[in-house]
């Protein structure tokens, strides 16, 4: 059992699981009630996200196998050989594509768009090593991922796109944190991420700026009646708290603690938003 958990940890299962909420949130803005069919759909989406997420992380590990050896955060990966990681990624990508092909065209294209963007991000000499490349991919893929669950219950609209932009900005800020955690390793391998490009002294400004933008965008959503007052207040409070913690990150320099705080706060916001709505279980 311990060996099995070690393999799951190496594939970064816990990180993948932590990101599923930012996919399912799209569905929460589309449904009118929780009934058994709705719950089944959410479970199906979560399983798909888990498989496709593991595929993306495995491919990313395969593509960066040699350079990632200097990154102590990723030491667990090297219980796999590069060939094994490539094989795992190929199998999981095949399963992901097979699952999604049985749905409507808009869902298929959205899912394939996400896989394609993360492919060109992770591939050797891809967007991962270009300033703003990772931020841009994170931003666009979150818009698509939001709609991946939204489209099971509705269709693309200006309203859904505007709402998804709010979460996309938050995810882009999360990507900056990821680059900050890997700063030393990326510097040592001349990997030109956004944070490396702008040097360490400027990196602490990126996240607060994005959180301020997300706050402004949240206000835009409310002014246009795209979100309820309940939703606005829930995310406003959490957004302000995360902004406050990001402003103090330079003093604490505890990136992993901030990431846990970030995930806990927004998980709390999503759960509060879900259970405070007028959904009912049939």
Confidence of residue 197 (pLDDT cuts 50, 70, 90): confident
Average pLDDT of the chain, as a whole number: 85
Q: With CA atoms as reference, report the closest residue to 153 among 25, 276, 18.
A: 25
Confidence of residue 66 (pLDDT cuts 50, 70, 90): confident
Quote the DSSP letter at residue 144. H
Quote the DSSP letter at residue 142. H
pLDDT for residue 10 is more than 50: yes
Quote the DSSP letter at residue 34. B
pTM for the full predicted model: 0.90
Contact indicator for 242, 213 with CB cutoff of 8 Å: no
Q: How confident is the model over 203-220, as pLDDT tens digits?
A: 778 888 999 999 999 999
Contact indicator for 172, 142 with CB cutoff of 8 Å: yes
Q: How confident is the model over 166-181, as pLDDT tens digits?
A: 999 999 998 888 888 8
**Paired residues of 34 in beta bridges:** 281
């Amino acid at each position: 059992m311990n060996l099995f958990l070690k393999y799951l940890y190496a594939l970064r299962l816990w990180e993948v699981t932590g990101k599923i909420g930012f996919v399912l949130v799209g569905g929460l803005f589309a449904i009118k009630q929780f009934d058994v069919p709705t719950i089944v759909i959410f479970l199906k989406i979560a399983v798909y996200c888990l498989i496709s997420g593991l595929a993306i992380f495995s491919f990313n590990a395969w593509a960066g196998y040699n350079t990632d050896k200097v990154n102590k955060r990723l030491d667990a990966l090297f219980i796999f050989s590069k060939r094994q990681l490539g094989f795992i990624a190929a199998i999981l990508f095949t399963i992901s594509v097979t699952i999604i092909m049985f749905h409507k065209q808009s869902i298929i294209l959205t899912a394939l768009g996400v896989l394609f963007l993360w492919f060109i991000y992770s591939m050797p000499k891809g967007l991962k090593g270009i300033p703003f490349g990772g931020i841009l991919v994170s931003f666009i893929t979150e818009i698509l991922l939001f709609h991946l669950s939204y489209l099971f219950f509705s269709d693309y609209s200006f309203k859904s796109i505007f709402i998804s932009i709010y979460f996309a900005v938050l995810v882009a800020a999360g990507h900056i944190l990821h680059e900050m955690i890997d700063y030393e390793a990326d510097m040592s391998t001349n990997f030109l991420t956004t944070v490396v490009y702008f040097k360490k002294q400027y990196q602490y400004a990126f996240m607060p700026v994005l959180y301020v933008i997300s706050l402004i965008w949240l206000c835009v959503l409310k002014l246009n009646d795209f979100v309820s007052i309940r939703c606005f207040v829930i995310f406003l409070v959490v957004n302000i708290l995360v902004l406050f913690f990001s402003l103090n990150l330079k003093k604490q320099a505890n990136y992993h603690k901030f990431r846990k705080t970030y995930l806990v706060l927004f998980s709390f916001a999503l759960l509060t938003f879900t259970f405070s709505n007028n959904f009912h279980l049939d």
